[in-house]
Chains A and B, each alone.
Chain A
C-alpha cells in the first residue's frame, strides 16, 4: 500500500460521504450532538463537585488548613502558584461569659478584611455585621448567642481560663451556616484584641478551581518541612470527600450508560448506512478490490465521517461548557437546603482533559467497531449475492 493508493481510497471515501450528503449529514449530526452532550454533561458533573467543594471550604476551612504554624512564618510565604488567598487565624480556646452564663468557645482572631474577601461566612450573618479591625467586637454563632442570652450590641467577656483576666467584647453580629461544627462554639474577632494571640497560628489556604490539593501540599512540605502541618479538606471533611467520590461513581455509571446507548445508536446507524449501500460495495468488489482494500475503504468512510463529527462535537461541547461557565447555572432551587451548597447554588461547568477526549474517542472507536461486521459481510459474502442485494 503506497502513498498514492491511500490517497485514492481517501478520495473515494470522501466522494462517497460528500455525495451521500443527506445520510452523511444526519449521521454526523447524531455523532456530533452525542459527543457535545457528553462533553457538556461531564463538565457539568465536574462543576457540581467543584461547587460543593467551593461551598464547603469557602465558609471557613479553605482547601488546605495549616495548623501550629510558627510565628515568624508569614501568610505571603504560603501564597504559591495556584493559591488564591491565605487567611491567617489565631485560635484562642476559652470561655465566653455573660452574667452567670458560660459557654466554651474557640475564638478565632483574624483580619476582618481577609476573612470577608476569602471566605463566605459573612454572607451567613443573620443579624448585625462583621466585627471591624482594631475594635473589641465579636461575631458569634446564633446558637451560642442564644445560649448566652445575648442580643446584638450586648457586652460579653472572653477568658482563656477561669483564672485568666477577662477581655471585654461587644457582640456585633450573629451567623448561622447550617453546618454543626461551624454553628456551635465558634466566634470571630479582629486580631490583637486578645492578649497572647501572636504566637502560633493557623492558615486557611484557598485554591483556584481545578488546582490539585496534593500538589500544593507537596510544595509546602518541601518548603517548610516538619515546621508546619497541613491538612486537606478531604481529611477535614471525609463526609464531603465520600459524597464527591460517590458522585464520580454515579456519574461514571451514568456516563457509561449514556455512552453505551449512544454507542449502540451510532453503531446501528453505521451498520444501516453501510448495509444500505451494500450493493455498491458488491460492485466495488466485482472490480477486483481486495478484502484489505474493502476494509480500508469502509474504515476510511466511517473514520472520516466520525472524525469530522467528533471535531464538531468537541467544538460545540467546549463552546456550550464555556458559555455556561461564564453565565453560571443557578441550581439554588435544588440546593437551598443542602449543607454542601451552603453559600451558593450556582454551578459553573468545568472542562477537564478527561471529559474532552473520552466522548470523541468512544464515538470514534464504536463507529469503527460498528463497521467491522458490515465490512466482513462484504468481504466474506459471495459477490453475486451482495449484488443481488440481500
Chain B
C-alpha cells in the first residue's frame, strides 16, 4: 500500500524555477494498478522517482508499506528498494555490461535467492516476455522493445510489493504492449502488489484500475482534462 500526501518538488536551474510536483495526494492499495497520465513535462517521472526513493521531495511524504521512505538512512533506503521495489524506466535501463540473463539475475542475487531458484525464475520470466532465446545476449544487441521487456522482467524478478513503471510500452507495438501490461497486471494480482504506471498509452489506461491526471505537477480532475 502506498500513501502519498501533499507531495511537492521544485527544480531550480539557473533563474528558472519549475514546480514539478505540487500538493499531490493519493493512495494505491495492494493489487491495485494506477495509471498516471499527463502531457510531457507534467511531472510523471518526478512523481515515480519520489515514490521510489530516487528523488527527495521538497514537501509532503511518501509512505510505502507503512514506511516513510524519506526518513530512512541511505542504507535502509537501499535495503527497502532492493526488497520491495521494482522499476521499469522510461528508457530501459539495463546494465550494458551484463547479459540479459545476468541483468535479471542481479536483483535476485542481491536478495540472496539461491542459484537454482534464480535459474528457474529467470527461465520462466524470459519465457513470459517471449525472449527465452536471448538469455545470452547483451543489451546492445537488443531492439528497444526487447530492452523494455527485459527491464520489465528484471523489475518483477524478485517479486516486489511495489512496481513503478515509466512509459513501459513506449517502444512497443500495441499487441506486445497489451501483452506486457496484461502480464504486469497478472503479477500484480498474484502478489497483491501495487502498480503505478506513467503512460500516454490508451492500452495501459484501459487496463488500469484507476487513472490520475497530472498537469504542471498538480492532479486535475478527469472531466476537466477530458474537455481539454
A residues apposed to B, CB below 8 Å: 8, 12, 15-16, 18-20, 279-280, 282-293, 379, 382-385, 387
Contacts and interface: CB of A to CB of B under 8 A. Distances in A.
A290 B74 contact: yes
Interface in B80-106: 80-83, 85, 87, 89, 93-98, 102, 106
- For the complex of A and B, the 5 pairs showing the least CB-CB separation, nearest first, are A288-B82, A288-B81, A383-B54, A19-B97, A290-B78
A279 B96 CA distance: 10
A335 to B, nearest CB: 53
A291 B74 contact: yes
A287 B81 contact: yes
A287 B54 contact: no
Given A284-B106, A289-B110, 10 more contacts: A286-B54, A288-B83, A290-B74, A291-B75, A382-B54, A382-B56, A383-B54, A384-B54, A385-B55, A387-B89
B138 interface: yes
Contacts of A289: 78, 82, 110
A229 to B, nearest CB: 70
Contacts of A19: 96-98, 138
A283 B82 contact: no
B49 interface: yes
Contacts of A293: 78
Interface residues of B, number: 31
Contacts of B93: 279, 282-283, 286, 387
A280 B55 contact: no
B49 A384 contact: yes
Contact of B78 (A12, A279, A288): A288
Most-contacted residue by chain B among A8, A20, A283, A379 (CB, 10 A): A283
Interface string B14-48: 00000000000000000000000000000001100
Contacts of A18: 97
B55 A284 contact: no
A20 B140 CA distance: 12
B217 interface: no
A5 to B, nearest CB: 8
B78 to A, nearest CB: 4
Nearest to A21: B97
Contact of B55 (A15, A20, A382): A382
A18 B97 CA distance: 8
Contact of A379 (B53, B74, B89, B94): B74
B107 interface: yes
B52 interface: yes
Contacts of A286: 52, 54, 81, 87, 89, 93
B79 interface: yes
B53 to A, nearest CB: 8
Nearest to A8: B109
Nearest to A279: B93
B80 A383 contact: no
Contacts of B56: 382
A288 B85 contact: yes
A288 B80 CA distance: 7
B68 to A, nearest CB: 17
A290 B83 CA distance: 12
Given A288-B79, A289-B82, A384-B49, A280 B96 contact: yes
A19 B141 CA distance: 13
Nearest to A16: B97
B171 to A, nearest CB: 17
Contacts of A284: 95, 106
